[in-house]
């Protein structure tokens, strides 16, 4: 009995000694390779570019929370520094112009339909270009691609005349249709490339099971296209939300102006107040930034997927 107990004790001591020896010999292995000089240079250049882009935004943010008397000779003058949110209140309630709250609501009325209408149409058209065969398909697709090269300034005069004849001036419907028309070519190109990269075997299996082409598109293809659709939603929303040119030409009624039209009016003509302009810019920026943050997990994946296959 004593021999068995002593044997067990010896085995226990051996295990304890082995455990402590393993602890003593444990070392954290750090990567032996040093970063390449080119990698370090690329990171430094990237951080420098980010800093250069950040400085103007920092100036706008500081100017928006200070009285104009403190920033009229430069936002970098920090003495004195009076923190105030009066600029945001005056801009939002419209102390000098149309309330920015109303202008942002007008922008939403235009931006939301002008985002989803062209995406719905371009998804159907792009799927047709990617999957169906036709003699004129390549010619029509080339024509759509060439439409992307037409600048807005080249066609704005006939558009203005057409809108005036159709009573679409000062009408959000006309502006929504205009944005939708200009978005269709590049969105069809983008989604056609994405659809072409999807494996066709899944659609063939559904077709054998008796599903129609529209049901395949709606139930099979469209769920696989969520990254690309998220990218299109974020891009188109920002394009329409920030548009100034089309809104300037088609919306002339002061009470119907959109947010980008109100921002320049915040400065005033005689009494310049750049703090109001900075506060209005921050407020208008919130919604598109929120859209991008909400969809950013799909954004890069959708962009790369839609740009690979030609």
**Together in a domain, 69 and 142:** no
The two tokens of residue 128 are 């047709």
CA pair distance 199, 106, nearest whole angstrom: 42
Assigned domain for 240 exists: yes
**Together in a domain, 195 and 52:** no
**Together in a domain, 167 and 55:** no
Return the minimum-mean-pLDDT range out of 44-58, 252-266, 278-292, 295-309.
295-309
CB atoms within 10 A of CB 25: 7
Q: Which residue has the higher pLDDT, 273 or 261?
A: 261
CA pair distance 69, 77, nearest whole angstrom: 11
Assigned domain for 262 exists: yes
Could you list the residue range(s) of the whole structural domain that residue 79 is in? 34-84
The two tokens of residue 227 are 């990254």
Determine contact, residues 127/217, Cβ cutoff 8 Å.
yes
**Together in a domain, 270 and 193:** yes
CA pair distance 19, 34, nearest whole angstrom: 33
Which DSSP symbol is given to 267?
A: S
**Together in a domain, 148 and 252:** yes
The pLDDT-based confidence of 207 (bands split at 50, 70, 90) is confident
Give the total number of structural domains in the chain: 2
Return the minimum-mean-pLDDT range out of 42-51, 150-159, 255-264, 290-299.
290-299
CATH of the domain at 229: 1.10.3720.10
Assigned domain for 244 exists: yes
For 196, phi then psi, to 5°, come to -65, -25
Assigned domain for 21 exists: no
- Whether omega before 80 lies within 30 degrees of 0, making that bond cis, reads yes
Assigned domain for 26 exists: no
Return the minimum-mean-pLDDT range out of 104-108, 207-211, 232-236.
207-211
**Together in a domain, 153 and 300:** yes
Assigned domain for 129 exists: yes
**Together in a domain, 75 and 102:** no
**Together in a domain, 41 and 159:** no
Q: Is 101 helix (H, G, I), strand (E, B) or coil?
A: helix
pLDDT of residue 303: 53
Determine contact, residues 91/280, Cβ cutoff 8 Å.
yes
Mean pLDDT to the nearest integer, 14-36: 54
**Together in a domain, 249 and 279:** yes
For 21, phi then psi, to 5°, come to -65, -40
**Together in a domain, 41 and 139:** no
Assigned domain for 24 exists: no
Assigned domain for 231 exists: yes
**Together in a domain, 169 and 73:** no
The two tokens of residue 13 are 């001591």
**Together in a domain, 231 and 186:** yes
């Amino acid at each position: 009995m004593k021999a068995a107990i002593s044997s067990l004790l010896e085995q226990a001591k051996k295990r304890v000694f082995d455990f402590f020896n393993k602890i003593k010999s444990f070392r954290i292995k750090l990567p032996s390779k040093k970063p390449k000089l080119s990698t370090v240079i690329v990171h430094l250049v990237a951080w420098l570019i980010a800093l250069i882009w950040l400085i103007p935004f920092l100036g706008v943010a500081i100017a928006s929370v200070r009285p104009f008397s403190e920033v009229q000779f430069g936002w970098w003058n920090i003495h004195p520094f009076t923190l105030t949110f009066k600029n945001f209140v005056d801009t939002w309630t419209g102390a000098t112009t149309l309330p920015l709250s109303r202008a942002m609501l007008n922008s939403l009325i235009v931006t939301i339909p002008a985002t989803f209408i062209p995406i719905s149409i371009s998804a159907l058209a792009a799927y047709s270009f990617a999957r169906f065969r036709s003699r004129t398909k390549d010619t029509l697709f080339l024509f759509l691609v060439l439409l992307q090269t037409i600048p807005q300034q080249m066609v704005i005069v006939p558009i203005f005349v057409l809108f005036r004849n159709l009573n679409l001036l000062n009408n959000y419907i006309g502006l929504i249709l205009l944005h939708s028309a200009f978005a269709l070519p590049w969105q069809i190109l983008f989604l056609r490339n994405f659809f072409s990269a999807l494996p066709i075997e899944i659609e063939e299996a559904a077709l054998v099971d008796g599903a129609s082409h529209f049901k395949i598109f709606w139930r099979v293809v469209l769920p696989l296209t969520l990254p690309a659709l998220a990218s299109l939603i974020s891009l188109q929303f920002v394009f329409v939300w920030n548009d100034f040119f089309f809104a300037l030409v088609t919306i002339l009624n002061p009470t119907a102006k959109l947010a980008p039209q109100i921002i320049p009016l915040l400065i005033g003509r005689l009494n310049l107040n750049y703090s109001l302009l900075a506060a209005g810019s921050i407020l208008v920026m919130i919604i598109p930034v929120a859209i991008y943050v909400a969809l950013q997990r799909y954004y890069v994946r959708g962009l790369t997927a839609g740009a690979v296959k030609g």
